[in-house]
Amino acid sequence: QVQLQESGPGLVKPSETLSLTCTVSGGSISSYYWSWIRQPAGKGLEWIGRIYTSGSTNYNPSLKSRVTMSVDTSKNQFSLKLSSVTAADTAVYYCARGMIVAVGDAFDIWGQGTMVTVSS
Amino acid sequence: DIQMTQSPSSVSASVGDRVTITCRASQGISSWLAWYQQKPGKAPKLLIYAASSLQSGVPSRFSGSGSGTDFTLTISSLQPEDFATYYCQQANSFPETFGQGTRLEIK
């Protein structure tokens, strides 16, 4: 079955760029939307954005100026870059597969999540 | 952005109880609502999509209903493994937004 695994640094300095990669195994990355979602400790879920395998993206306007997503179909991977991070970006970051139900998605497969702390 | 408001924020119940969680959208979202279950330290798990469609592999004691702005998730007979936090999420428009969560605790 399809599995997702996030990878990347667990500690990022303020003002620097957070970079994460999600590897898709057990299935093809093609023909799906792939999202990033984050969750600060003890808080709710925030959708960051999504990318289609064509490279088409949709970003949360609250983060749009700082977010870049990319996809590498040859490696079955997609990536997130979040620039100019602050302590407010400290969270568990999840990658997830979108099951398109409308304009948006229901997220049917999730990675286990990776904790990213922003601190000097 | 569409605001999603869940009630209650927390609820205590016993094994075997019937529990209902409500989610209200700040504007109409047709039937484009999903429900998730999250246990501590784990990723959310999709339970219901399109307001009432049960995700494959999810027990039939979970059901969803509603359309427009008001939605409910019902667990017909609580099992020990159901104690968790539940989130609703709208997929009607961008940005996709989640409710603040409902924590279901053991009484």
B102 vs A: CB within 8 A? no
Q: Give the CA count within 13 Å in the CB-facing half-sphere of B11.
A: 23
Is residue B107 very low, low, confident or very high in pLDDT (cuts 50, 70, 90)?
A: confident
CB contact under 8 A, B49 and A47: no
Within 8 A of A108 by CB-CB distance, chain B residues are 46, 49, 55
Percentage of chain B beyond pLDDT 70 is: 100
pLDDT of residue A88: 98
CA dihedral A31, A40, A119, A21 (to 10 degrees): -10
CA nearest to B104, candidates B39, B34, B10: B10
Using a CB–CB cutoff of 8 Å, tell me whether B40 touches chain A: no
Give the model confidence (pLDDT) of A64-116 as tens digits: 999 999 999 999 999 999 999 999 999 999 999 998 877 888 999 999 999 99
CB atoms B96 and A110 under 8 Å = no
For the stretch A38-72, pLDDT in tens is: 999 999 999 999 999 999 999 999 999 999 999 99
* pLDDT at A103 (0 to 100): 80
**List of chain A residues whose C-beta atoms are within 8 Å of the C-beta of residue B1:** 61
Q: CB–CB of B32 and A104 under 8 A?
A: yes
Neighboring chain B residues of A2 at a CB cutoff of 8 Å: none
The b-or-e profile of B9-23 (16+ CB within 10 A means b, else e) is eebebeeeeebebbb
Q: What is the total residue count of chain B? A: 107
Contacts of A42 in chain B (CB under 8 A): none
φ and ψ at residue B72, rounded to 5 degrees: -135, 145
* Whole-number Å distance between alpha carbons of A63 and A48: 7
Cβ–Cβ below 8 Å for A61 and B95: yes
Find the CB nearest A103 among B49, B94, B98: B94
How far is A17 from chain B, CA to nearest CA, in Å?
Answer: 22
Mean pLDDT of chain B, nearest integer? 97
Question: How does DSSP classify residue B101?
Answer: -
Q: Chain B partners of A112 at a C-beta cutoff of 8 Å?
A: 42-43
Cα separation of B49 and B68, whole Å? 14
User: Quick one: which of B32, B52, B36 has its CA closest to B100?
Assistant: B36
Q: How many CA atoms lie within 13 A of A11 on its CB side?
A: 2
Check if B3 contacts A (Cβ < 8 Å): no
Name the DSSP class of A94. Answer: E
Residue B37, number of CB atoms within 10 A of its CB: 22
Q: Does any CB of chain A come closer than 8 Å to the CB of residue B91? A: yes
Q: pLDDT tens for residues B35-64?
A: 999 999 999 999 999 999 999 999 999 999
pLDDT at site A91: 98
Overall average pLDDT of the B71-87 stretch: 97
User: pLDDT at position A99, please?
Assistant: 86
